[in-house]
Amino acid sequence: MKAHLTRRYIFSASHRLHCDELSEEQNREVYGKCNNPYGHGHNYALEVTVSGQVDAKTGMICNLAELDETVQRELLERFDHVNLNSCAEFTTLVPTTENLSEAIFQILKQNFKAAHLEKVRLEETAMNSFEYAGGAELRT
């Protein structure tokens, strides 16, 4: 039997939406208040969905402790309470939540092999959430 598991994690991070290829005026037009030179922060809610066959002995898709450890080590320690603009993943990418969702998916795909990674969903605000389920590699 195949099943899906979604696990939720919370982290806080700041960012400034700014593209060096655009003028200051264009950046203000495109990103509005999110282009504030001092940045702004979010309390993100991350949902990680994995799937797999339910193990006959354990009754589980994967070990939750192993998933939690991977998310803690690879994602939360990397992104929690940091300015995303300073992260290696965003040296050439604007740290939008769309790009952050893709980065998180790629990091988990490389580091969690105990179950199939289906998608990540990242809630930025009560009004904005983004899902990424693979397909394209990070743009540079």
**Catalytic amino acids?**
34, 81, 124
Rounded to an integer, what distance in angstroms lies between the CA atom of residue 6 and that of residue 22? 38
Token pair 């289906």 is found at: 118
Helices (H), 41-89: 64-71, 77-79
**Which tokens belong to 3?**
């099943």
**Tokens matching residue 51:** 């799937």
